[in-house]
Chain A
Protein backbone atom coordinates (compact mmCIF):
# COMPACT_ATOMS: atom_id res chain seq x y z
CA UNK A 1 0.00 0.00 0.00
CA UNK A 2 1.24 3.48 -0.82
CA UNK A 3 2.03 5.50 2.27
CA UNK A 4 -0.19 8.55 2.36
CA UNK A 5 0.88 9.83 5.77
CA UNK A 6 4.16 11.50 6.60
CA UNK A 7 5.82 9.37 9.22
CA UNK A 8 8.53 10.63 11.48
CA UNK A 9 10.20 7.90 13.49
CA UNK A 10 12.88 8.52 16.10
CA UNK A 11 14.62 5.80 18.09
CA UNK A 12 16.60 6.43 21.27
CA UNK A 13 18.28 3.98 23.61
CA UNK A 14 17.03 4.64 27.14
CA UNK A 15 16.33 2.39 30.18
CA UNK A 16 18.46 -0.37 28.69
CA UNK A 17 16.24 -0.75 25.65
CA UNK A 18 15.22 0.99 22.43
CA UNK A 19 12.30 3.41 22.49
CA UNK A 20 10.68 4.37 19.17
CA UNK A 21 8.33 7.28 18.65
CA UNK A 22 6.37 7.10 15.41
CA UNK A 23 4.62 10.46 14.90
CA UNK A 24 2.06 10.70 12.11
CA UNK A 25 0.72 14.24 12.53
CA UNK A 26 2.21 16.24 9.66
CA UNK A 27 1.47 19.60 11.29
CA UNK A 28 3.01 18.92 14.67
CA UNK A 29 6.42 20.32 15.53
CA UNK A 30 8.95 17.53 15.99
CA UNK A 31 10.21 19.33 19.11
CA UNK A 32 7.60 17.44 21.11
CA UNK A 33 9.44 14.21 20.33
CA UNK A 34 12.69 15.67 21.67
CA UNK A 35 10.95 16.89 24.83
CA UNK A 36 9.45 13.44 25.38
CA UNK A 37 12.83 11.70 25.02
CA UNK A 38 14.38 14.26 27.40
CA UNK A 39 11.80 13.44 30.03
CA UNK A 40 12.32 9.67 29.58
CA UNK A 41 16.07 10.17 30.10
CA UNK A 42 15.34 12.05 33.32
CA UNK A 43 13.17 9.17 34.54
CA UNK A 44 15.96 6.70 33.76
CA UNK A 45 18.49 8.78 35.70
CA UNK A 46 16.15 9.07 38.67
CA UNK A 47 14.73 5.53 38.85
CA UNK A 48 17.38 3.14 37.58
CA UNK A 49 18.49 0.65 40.26
CA UNK A 50 21.55 0.02 38.05
CA UNK A 51 22.83 3.59 38.38
CA UNK A 52 24.49 4.02 41.80
CA UNK A 53 23.65 7.75 41.95
CA UNK A 54 19.95 7.42 41.01
CA UNK A 55 17.42 8.50 43.63
CA UNK A 56 16.13 4.91 43.82
CA UNK A 57 19.63 3.57 44.56
CA UNK A 58 20.24 6.28 47.19
CA UNK A 59 16.82 5.62 48.72
CA UNK A 60 17.61 1.89 48.83
CA UNK A 61 20.89 2.61 50.66
CA UNK A 62 19.10 4.86 53.16
CA UNK A 63 20.90 8.01 51.97
CA UNK A 64 17.60 9.66 50.99
CA UNK A 65 14.10 9.62 52.40
CA UNK A 66 11.04 9.41 50.14
CA UNK A 67 10.27 13.01 51.16
CA UNK A 68 13.73 14.03 49.98
CA UNK A 69 13.15 12.52 46.52
CA UNK A 70 11.42 14.00 43.50
CA UNK A 71 7.63 13.86 43.86
CA UNK A 72 7.49 11.27 41.05
CA UNK A 73 9.40 8.79 43.25
CA UNK A 74 6.62 8.90 45.84
CA UNK A 75 4.07 8.47 43.05
CA UNK A 76 5.81 5.36 41.70
CA UNK A 77 6.32 3.84 45.16
CA UNK A 78 2.65 4.37 45.93
CA UNK A 79 1.84 2.56 42.67
CA UNK A 80 4.18 -0.28 43.74
CA UNK A 81 2.38 -0.56 47.06
CA UNK A 82 -1.05 -0.66 45.37
CA UNK A 83 0.22 -3.38 43.09
CA UNK A 84 1.77 -5.39 45.91
CA UNK A 85 -1.66 -5.51 47.55
CA UNK A 86 -3.56 -6.17 44.34
CA UNK A 87 -1.31 -9.15 43.52
CA UNK A 88 -1.26 -10.60 47.03
CA UNK A 89 2.50 -10.00 47.18
CA UNK A 90 3.42 -11.64 43.87
CA UNK A 91 4.70 -8.24 42.78
CA UNK A 92 6.82 -6.65 45.49
CA UNK A 93 9.28 -3.86 44.66
CA UNK A 94 10.83 -4.28 48.10
CA UNK A 95 11.71 -7.96 47.83
CA UNK A 96 12.15 -8.92 44.18
CA UNK A 97 15.94 -8.70 44.13
CA UNK A 98 18.23 -11.31 45.67
CA UNK A 99 20.01 -8.54 47.61
CA UNK A 100 16.69 -7.21 48.93
CA UNK A 101 17.27 -3.73 47.48
CA UNK A 102 14.35 -1.60 46.37
CA UNK A 103 13.61 -2.16 42.67
CA UNK A 104 10.48 -0.56 41.18
CA UNK A 105 11.61 -1.38 37.60
CA UNK A 106 8.56 -3.63 37.16
CA UNK A 107 6.34 -0.58 36.99
CA UNK A 108 8.63 2.29 36.02
CA UNK A 109 8.84 1.68 32.28
CA UNK A 110 5.08 1.29 31.77
CA UNK A 111 4.36 4.29 33.97
CA UNK A 112 7.00 6.41 32.22
CA UNK A 113 5.86 5.57 28.69
CA UNK A 114 2.20 6.18 29.56
CA UNK A 115 3.27 9.57 30.93
CA UNK A 116 5.36 10.18 27.83
CA UNK A 117 2.25 9.67 25.68
CA UNK A 118 0.62 12.38 27.80
CA UNK A 119 3.54 14.73 27.06
CA UNK A 120 3.10 14.06 23.34
CA UNK A 121 -0.60 14.91 23.61
CA UNK A 122 0.19 18.14 25.50
CA UNK A 123 2.53 19.04 22.65
CA UNK A 124 -0.34 18.72 20.18
CA UNK A 125 0.35 15.24 18.81
CA UNK A 126 -2.80 13.20 18.22
CA UNK A 127 -1.73 10.28 16.02
CA UNK A 128 1.36 8.46 17.20
CA UNK A 129 2.79 5.20 18.47
CA UNK A 130 5.31 4.82 21.28
CA UNK A 131 7.15 1.52 21.51
CA UNK A 132 9.46 1.01 24.49
CA UNK A 133 11.25 -2.29 24.09
CA UNK A 134 8.03 -4.09 23.14
CA UNK A 135 5.57 -2.19 25.35
CA UNK A 136 3.32 -0.12 23.10
CA UNK A 137 1.03 2.90 23.43
CA UNK A 138 -1.03 4.03 20.43
CA UNK A 139 -3.07 7.21 20.03
CA UNK A 140 -5.40 8.22 17.23
CA UNK A 141 -5.05 6.61 13.82
CA UNK A 142 -2.22 5.04 11.86
CA UNK A 143 -3.52 6.90 8.80
CA UNK A 144 -6.84 8.61 8.11
CA UNK A 145 -9.58 6.04 8.57
CA UNK A 146 -7.30 3.19 9.64
CA UNK A 147 -6.71 1.89 13.16
CA UNK A 148 -3.23 1.03 14.39
CA UNK A 149 -2.24 -2.63 14.15
CA UNK A 150 0.01 -4.10 16.81
CA UNK A 151 1.54 -7.52 16.42
CA UNK A 152 2.31 -9.76 19.36
CA UNK A 153 5.57 -11.59 18.92
CA UNK A 154 5.54 -15.38 18.80
CA UNK A 155 7.54 -16.43 21.87
CA UNK A 156 9.45 -19.12 19.98
CA UNK A 157 10.08 -17.24 16.74
CA UNK A 158 11.22 -13.62 16.69
CA UNK A 159 9.96 -13.15 13.13
CA UNK A 160 6.47 -14.68 13.60
CA UNK A 161 3.35 -13.14 15.10
CA UNK A 162 1.20 -14.94 17.68
CA UNK A 163 -1.65 -12.43 17.29
CA UNK A 164 -2.47 -9.04 15.81
CA UNK A 165 -4.71 -6.50 17.55
CA UNK A 166 -6.05 -3.20 16.29
CA UNK A 167 -7.25 -0.06 18.00
CA UNK A 168 -7.04 3.72 18.29
CA UNK A 169 -6.20 4.55 21.89
CA UNK A 170 -4.72 1.49 23.48
CA UNK A 171 -1.76 0.12 25.38
CA UNK A 172 -0.26 -3.35 24.92
CA UNK A 173 2.47 -4.76 27.15
CA UNK A 174 4.08 -8.20 26.99
CA UNK A 175 6.06 -10.17 29.55
CA UNK A 176 8.10 -13.24 28.78
CA UNK A 177 11.38 -14.95 29.48
CA UNK A 178 12.51 -15.32 25.86
CA UNK A 179 14.48 -12.05 25.62
CA UNK A 180 16.28 -11.69 28.93
CA UNK A 181 15.86 -15.09 30.64
CA UNK A 182 13.87 -16.03 33.71
CA UNK A 183 13.99 -12.62 35.34
CA UNK A 184 10.34 -12.47 36.42
CA UNK A 185 9.86 -14.13 39.79
CA UNK A 186 7.02 -14.53 42.24
CA UNK A 187 8.28 -12.21 45.00
CA UNK A 188 6.71 -14.46 47.65
CA UNK A 189 8.87 -17.43 46.68
CA UNK A 190 11.70 -15.99 44.56
CA UNK A 191 10.96 -18.71 41.99
CA UNK A 192 10.72 -17.76 38.30
CA UNK A 193 7.55 -18.77 36.51
CA UNK A 194 7.76 -21.17 33.55
CA UNK A 195 4.11 -22.05 32.93
CA UNK A 196 3.65 -19.28 30.35
CA UNK A 197 5.92 -18.46 27.43
CA UNK A 198 4.45 -14.98 27.22
CA UNK A 199 1.61 -12.91 28.62
CA UNK A 200 0.39 -9.82 26.80
CA UNK A 201 -2.09 -7.39 28.32
CA UNK A 202 -4.13 -4.81 26.40
CA UNK A 203 -5.99 -1.96 28.07
CA UNK A 204 -6.40 1.78 28.42
CA UNK A 205 -3.18 2.51 30.37
CA UNK A 206 0.32 1.15 29.77
CA UNK A 207 1.07 1.70 33.46
CA UNK A 208 -1.41 -1.01 34.45
CA UNK A 209 -1.06 -3.18 31.31
CA UNK A 210 2.70 -3.50 31.96
CA UNK A 211 2.25 -4.13 35.69
CA UNK A 212 -0.47 -6.72 35.10
CA UNK A 213 1.58 -8.47 32.42
CA UNK A 214 4.54 -8.79 34.80
CA UNK A 215 2.50 -9.89 37.82
CA UNK A 216 0.25 -12.21 35.78
CA UNK A 217 3.29 -13.83 34.16
CA UNK A 218 4.78 -14.48 37.61
CA UNK A 219 1.50 -16.12 38.70
CA UNK A 220 1.73 -18.67 35.88
CA UNK A 221 -1.45 -20.13 34.42
CA UNK A 222 -3.65 -18.62 37.13
CA UNK A 223 -2.35 -15.23 36.02
CA UNK A 224 -4.31 -15.30 32.75
CA UNK A 225 -7.66 -15.49 34.56
CA UNK A 226 -6.40 -13.00 37.12
CA UNK A 227 -5.67 -10.42 34.40
CA UNK A 228 -9.05 -11.16 32.78
CA UNK A 229 -10.66 -10.17 36.08
CA UNK A 230 -9.00 -6.69 36.08
CA UNK A 231 -11.63 -4.20 34.87
CA UNK A 232 -10.75 -2.89 31.41
CA UNK A 233 -7.73 -5.17 30.82
CA UNK A 234 -7.52 -8.13 28.47
CA UNK A 235 -4.92 -10.95 28.54
CA UNK A 236 -3.41 -13.00 25.72
CA UNK A 237 -1.11 -15.78 26.88
CA UNK A 238 0.98 -18.39 25.13
CA UNK A 239 1.31 -21.38 27.43
CA UNK A 240 4.27 -23.76 27.66
CA UNK A 241 2.17 -26.29 25.74
CA UNK A 242 1.91 -23.95 22.75
CA UNK A 243 -1.69 -22.89 23.27
CA UNK A 244 -3.14 -19.40 23.11
CA UNK A 245 -5.38 -18.39 25.99
CA UNK A 246 -7.24 -15.09 25.91
CA UNK A 247 -10.30 -13.36 27.24
CA UNK A 248 -13.44 -12.32 25.35
CA UNK A 249 -12.31 -8.72 25.71
CA UNK A 250 -9.05 -9.59 23.93
CA UNK A 251 -10.95 -11.48 21.20
CA UNK A 252 -12.70 -8.20 20.34
CA UNK A 253 -9.35 -6.56 19.60
CA UNK A 254 -8.03 -9.34 17.38
CA UNK A 255 -7.46 -8.86 13.67
CA UNK A 256 -8.07 -12.22 12.07
CA UNK A 257 -6.15 -13.20 8.96
CA UNK A 258 -9.28 -13.50 6.86
CA UNK A 259 -10.13 -9.83 7.44
CA UNK A 260 -7.06 -8.70 5.55
Chain B
Protein backbone atom coordinates (compact mmCIF):
# COMPACT_ATOMS: atom_id res chain seq x y z
CA UNK B 1 0.00 0.00 0.00
CA UNK B 2 1.67 3.29 -1.08
CA UNK B 3 0.67 5.23 2.04
CA UNK B 4 1.97 2.56 4.35
CA UNK B 5 5.24 2.38 2.40
CA UNK B 6 5.60 6.16 2.60
CA UNK B 7 5.02 6.10 6.35
CA UNK B 8 7.64 3.38 6.74
CA UNK B 9 10.12 5.38 4.67
CA UNK B 10 9.49 8.52 6.69
CA UNK B 11 9.92 6.60 9.93
CA UNK B 12 13.20 5.18 8.66
CA UNK B 13 14.29 8.67 7.65
CA UNK B 14 13.55 9.95 11.14
CA UNK B 15 15.58 7.13 12.66
CA UNK B 16 18.51 7.82 10.33
CA UNK B 17 18.43 11.54 11.10
CA UNK B 18 18.39 10.75 14.80
CA UNK B 19 21.45 8.52 14.47
CA UNK B 20 23.44 11.65 13.75
CA UNK B 21 22.00 13.72 16.55
CA UNK B 22 22.71 11.57 19.59
CA UNK B 23 22.61 12.87 23.07
CA UNK B 24 23.90 10.86 25.95
CA UNK B 25 21.28 9.80 28.50
CA UNK B 26 22.76 12.27 30.99
CA UNK B 27 21.85 15.10 28.69
CA UNK B 28 18.50 13.88 27.59
CA UNK B 29 15.61 16.11 28.61
CA UNK B 30 13.60 15.05 31.67
CA UNK B 31 12.67 11.49 31.00
CA UNK B 32 9.15 10.39 30.43
CA UNK B 33 7.97 7.18 32.09
CA UNK B 34 8.15 5.60 28.65
CA UNK B 35 11.83 6.50 28.51
CA UNK B 36 12.32 5.05 31.98
CA UNK B 37 10.67 1.84 30.90
CA UNK B 38 12.90 1.53 27.87
CA UNK B 39 16.07 2.25 29.78
CA UNK B 40 15.12 -0.14 32.54
CA UNK B 41 14.90 -2.96 30.03
CA UNK B 42 17.85 -5.28 30.64
CA UNK B 43 20.12 -5.61 27.66
CA UNK B 44 21.68 -8.87 26.65
CA UNK B 45 25.01 -7.21 25.88
CA UNK B 46 27.38 -6.16 28.62
CA UNK B 47 28.03 -2.84 26.96
CA UNK B 48 28.17 0.10 29.34
CA UNK B 49 25.95 3.12 28.99
CA UNK B 50 28.15 6.02 27.92
CA UNK B 51 28.62 8.43 30.79
CA UNK B 52 30.38 11.10 28.78
CA UNK B 53 28.39 14.25 29.35
CA UNK B 54 30.52 16.74 27.43
CA UNK B 55 29.92 15.84 23.83
CA UNK B 56 26.62 16.20 22.11
CA UNK B 57 27.57 13.93 19.22
CA UNK B 58 29.74 10.85 19.62
CA UNK B 59 31.93 11.09 16.57
CA UNK B 60 32.10 7.93 14.52
CA UNK B 61 35.66 6.61 14.78
CA UNK B 62 36.99 5.61 11.39
CA UNK B 63 38.88 2.33 11.40
CA UNK B 64 41.66 1.98 8.86
CA UNK B 65 40.91 -1.63 8.08
CA UNK B 66 37.21 -1.07 7.62
CA UNK B 67 35.51 1.15 5.07
CA UNK B 68 32.37 1.65 7.19
CA UNK B 69 32.23 3.82 10.32
CA UNK B 70 32.09 2.16 13.73
CA UNK B 71 30.44 3.54 16.85
CA UNK B 72 31.19 3.40 20.53
CA UNK B 73 29.25 0.59 22.21
CA UNK B 74 26.39 1.53 24.50
CA UNK B 75 22.84 2.83 24.52
CA UNK B 76 22.07 6.27 23.20
CA UNK B 77 18.92 8.28 23.57
CA UNK B 78 18.10 10.43 20.59
CA UNK B 79 17.06 14.02 20.86
CA UNK B 80 13.35 14.60 21.13
CA UNK B 81 12.28 15.59 17.64
CA UNK B 82 9.02 17.18 16.61
CA UNK B 83 7.92 16.06 13.19
CA UNK B 84 4.68 15.95 11.28
CA UNK B 85 3.47 13.08 13.49
CA UNK B 86 4.17 14.80 16.80
CA UNK B 87 6.93 14.19 19.33
CA UNK B 88 9.36 11.40 18.56
CA UNK B 89 12.35 10.07 20.46
CA UNK B 90 14.32 6.86 19.93
CA UNK B 91 16.88 4.77 21.80
CA UNK B 92 19.66 3.16 19.82
CA UNK B 93 21.79 0.26 21.05
CA UNK B 94 25.27 -0.11 19.61
CA UNK B 95 27.13 -3.34 20.11
CA UNK B 96 30.40 -4.37 18.48
CA UNK B 97 30.45 -1.03 16.72
CA UNK B 98 27.17 -1.73 14.99
CA UNK B 99 23.63 -0.60 15.53
CA UNK B 100 21.85 -3.62 16.95
CA UNK B 101 18.54 -2.10 18.04
CA UNK B 102 16.46 1.03 17.56
CA UNK B 103 13.52 1.46 19.87
CA UNK B 104 10.98 4.26 20.07
CA UNK B 105 10.78 5.92 23.50
CA UNK B 106 8.31 8.66 23.00
CA UNK B 107 5.58 8.38 20.48
CA UNK B 108 3.09 10.82 19.14
CA UNK B 109 -0.64 10.73 19.34
CA UNK B 110 -1.68 14.15 18.22
CA UNK B 111 -2.29 13.48 14.56
CA UNK B 112 -4.61 11.02 12.92
CA UNK B 113 -1.85 9.11 11.15
CA UNK B 114 0.20 8.82 14.30
CA UNK B 115 -2.10 6.09 15.61
CA UNK B 116 -0.50 3.69 13.16
CA UNK B 117 3.01 4.64 14.21
CA UNK B 118 2.18 4.38 17.89
CA UNK B 119 1.80 0.63 17.45
CA UNK B 120 5.59 0.48 17.63
CA UNK B 121 5.39 1.23 21.34
CA UNK B 122 4.09 -2.31 22.01
CA UNK B 123 7.53 -3.67 23.05
CA UNK B 124 7.40 -1.41 26.11
CA UNK B 125 4.47 -3.34 27.54
CA UNK B 126 4.24 -6.66 29.33
CA UNK B 127 2.11 -8.94 27.21
CA UNK B 128 0.93 -12.28 28.56
CA UNK B 129 -2.01 -14.63 28.65
CA UNK B 130 -4.57 -13.36 31.12
CA UNK B 131 -4.72 -15.43 34.30
CA UNK B 132 -7.47 -15.25 36.86
CA UNK B 133 -6.30 -14.02 40.28
CA UNK B 134 -7.54 -15.19 43.64
CA UNK B 135 -6.19 -12.63 46.12
CA UNK B 136 -8.50 -11.17 48.77
CA UNK B 137 -9.70 -7.69 47.82
CA UNK B 138 -11.24 -4.67 49.54
CA UNK B 139 -12.82 -3.12 46.45
CA UNK B 140 -13.37 -3.86 42.78
CA UNK B 141 -12.62 -1.79 39.69
CA UNK B 142 -14.52 -2.46 36.48
CA UNK B 143 -16.47 -0.82 33.69
CA UNK B 144 -19.22 1.36 35.12
CA UNK B 145 -22.27 -0.69 36.04
CA UNK B 146 -25.79 0.62 36.18
CA UNK B 147 -27.56 1.09 39.48
CA UNK B 148 -29.57 -2.07 38.75
CA UNK B 149 -26.52 -4.18 37.84
CA UNK B 150 -24.84 -3.20 41.11
CA UNK B 151 -27.19 -5.42 43.10
CA UNK B 152 -25.73 -8.52 41.43
CA UNK B 153 -22.11 -7.34 41.51
CA UNK B 154 -19.11 -8.51 43.49
CA UNK B 155 -18.81 -4.95 44.81
CA UNK B 156 -22.28 -5.23 46.36
CA UNK B 157 -21.18 -8.45 48.05
CA UNK B 158 -18.04 -6.76 49.36
CA UNK B 159 -20.07 -3.82 50.66
CA UNK B 160 -22.58 -6.10 52.39
CA UNK B 161 -19.97 -8.42 53.84
CA UNK B 162 -18.45 -5.63 55.86
CA UNK B 163 -21.30 -3.22 56.49
Q: Which of A's residues lie within 8 Å of B, judged by CB?
A: 1, 3, 7-9, 11, 13, 16-18, 20, 22, 85, 87-88, 109, 129, 131, 133-136, 138, 142, 148-155, 157-164, 172-180, 188, 198, 200, 219, 221-222, 224-226, 228-232, 235, 238, 242-251, 255, 257, 259-260
Q: What are the residues of chain B within 8 A of A245 when measuring CB–CB?
A: 122, 125-127
Cβ-neighbour of B142 out of A176, A231, A235 (below 8 A): A176
CA distance A179 to B135 in the complex (A): 23
B146 to chain A, nearest CB (A): 6
* A129 proximity list for chain B (CB < 8 A): 138-139
Which of B8-16, B29-37, B45-53, B67-75 contacts its partner? Answer: B29-37
* Cβ contacts under 8 Å, B65 to chain A: none
Interface size on B, residues (CB 8 A): 52
Would B132 and A22 count as touching, CB distance under 8 A? Answer: no
Closest Cβ of chain A to B153, distance in Å, is 7
User: Which of B17-25, B76-84, B111-119 has 4 or more CB atoms under 8 Å from chain A?
Assistant: B111-119
Question: Given A133-B150, A228-B33, A248-B40, do A17 and B126 touch, yes or no (CB 8 Å)?
Answer: no
Write out, one digit per residue, whether chain B residues 94-133 have a CB within 8 A of any chain A CB (1) or not (0): 0000000000001101111011001101101111111111
* Smallest CB separation, A13 vs chain B (Å): 5
Cβ-neighbour of B132 out of A17, A20, A162, A249 (below 8 A) = A162
Contacts known (A17-B144, A224-B125, A243-B127); A163 close to B133, Cβ less than 8 A: yes
Instruction: Give which listed residue, A9, A151, A225, A231, contacts B118 with CB less than 8 A.
Output: A225
List residues of chain A with CB within 8 A of the CB of B129.
242-244
Is A87 a contact of B109 with CB atoms below 8 Å?
yes
CA of A22 to CA of B160 in the docked complex: distance in angstroms?
Answer: 11
Among A16, A134, A188, the residue within 8 A (CB) of B141 is A134
* B112 neighbours in A (Cβ, 8 Å): 88, 188
Taken residue by residue from 140 to 163, chain B's Cβ proximity to chain A (1 for < 8 Å, 0 otherwise) reads as 111111110110111110010011
Does any Cβ of A come within 8 Å of B134's Cβ? yes
Q: Give 28 A-B contacts (CB < 8 Å), ordered by A residue.
A: A17-B146, A20-B159, A22-B139, A88-B111, A88-B112, A129-B139, A133-B145, A135-B141, A136-B141, A149-B137, A150-B137, A150-B138, A152-B141, A161-B132, A164-B137, A179-B149, A198-B143, A221-B122, A222-B115, A222-B121, A225-B118, A242-B129, A243-B127, A243-B128, A243-B129, A248-B37, A251-B126, A260-B135
